[in-house]
Structures are given as C-alpha cells and as structure tokens.
A and B are shown apart, each in its own frame.
Chain A
C-alpha cells in the first residue's frame, strides 16, 4: 500500500503562512487530495488533484506538488483553521490517507 507521511503537529500565529507536507512512498502523480477535520466533525475536502481548490473553500488554501512530494499552504492562517489536516491519494489501490497534521493557532 502507498504510505503517506505527514508531520504530526504544527503551531503558528494568526496571519502567518503555514505549509503542511505529505510525502508518498511511491508516485501518486497528481492524485493527491487534502482534507480538514475539526473535532467531532467529518473531514472536509479542501484541495483535489494536488492543486485544485474545492468550491467554497477560501483562496487562503492552496496545494502543490506531484509524484511523491506535496504541500498544503494556508496563507494567511486564521484562528478558525485550527484542525487536523489529512492528505489522501487516489492514484494507487487501495486509496490511503496520511496520519494527519494537527494545526494549532497560537
């Protein structure tokens, strides 16, 4: 299975720029997607196809990468962005998720 590796946690101040990384154990082309999950809620799609912003998601969120290295950027960060962010690949079967990066806003 394709393993997706994310750093476990980050802490930033409001107004700063934050990058969350996701590294795949094998190429997933641009079949990488990003989700935001707040406690007690279901995940919410932010970015699909590595760099495409889901409808209704603020333009503060952006994604980049291809192959094995991907990045989710939030610029500027707001207090409401406190959440866990997951990457997910849909290029290789079975689809897999990263373990999540917990973002704290100081």
Chain B
C-alpha cells in the first residue's frame, strides 16, 4: 500500500534551517510528483509547491520562494524540504503528499517549532 513516512518533529532556533524528509513506499516513486503543504491554526492549509520526482523540476507558490527548497533522492525514494531563515511564523505542521492533481496520499506530518 502507498505510504509516505515523514521525519520526526523539529525544534529550531530563529535564523536556522531544517530539512524534513518524506520516504515513499508502495509505488514507483518517480511516477508521481510530491507536494508539500503547511498547516497552522491561524493560516490553515497552504500549498508550498511540488517537485517532479523524476527530473527534480520544481514549482513553488510565490509565497514560499526563498523559504522552501524541494529536492529528491531517487535512490532512496525520498523527498526533502528544507526551510531556511526560520522565524516563529514558520512554526507549523508540514505535510508531504503524493501529487496527482488531487492529494490522495499524505504523510503523517512533521511538526516544526521555531523558538529561541
């Protein structure tokens, strides 16, 4: 069965970076893009962007350009999202999801807390 397993919670200091992973199993990794979504209580769900897992090509929501960097490692069927120059506004649960226009399969979410 399709599974997306995300890395564990992160506690980071303002100004630092974190890198979240999303390991896919149960399907051919390069047949589907991977999307990333941010969820906060205040802003709800926000679409960060997606990555073509075959070519590495990316598409970002303008709001997250310069904040998020999406990459993949095809050898391990893993997608990554790096968040840089962290501020408290980046504190959120981040999800990866298999992208096929709709988001039919989601990871369990990774909580990122930015605090000094």
Contact = CB atoms under 8 A, between A and B. Distances in A.
A42 B109 contact: yes
Contacts, number: 47
B106 A90 contact: no
Interface stretch (A16-24, A75-83, A94-102): A94-102
Query: For chain A, what secondary structure do more than half of its interface residues adopt (helix, strand, loop), or is it mixed?
Result: loop
Interface residues of A, number: 21
B77 to A, nearest CB: 19
Interface in A48-106: 48-49, 54, 86, 88, 90, 93-100
Secondary structure type dominating chain B contacts: strand
Contact of B103 (A45, A96, A99): A45
Given A42-B107, A94-B49, A97-B45, 13 more contacts: A31-B101, A42-B95, A42-B109, A43-B45, A45-B103, A88-B102, A90-B102, A93-B59, A94-B47, A95-B47, A95-B61, A96-B47, A100-B44
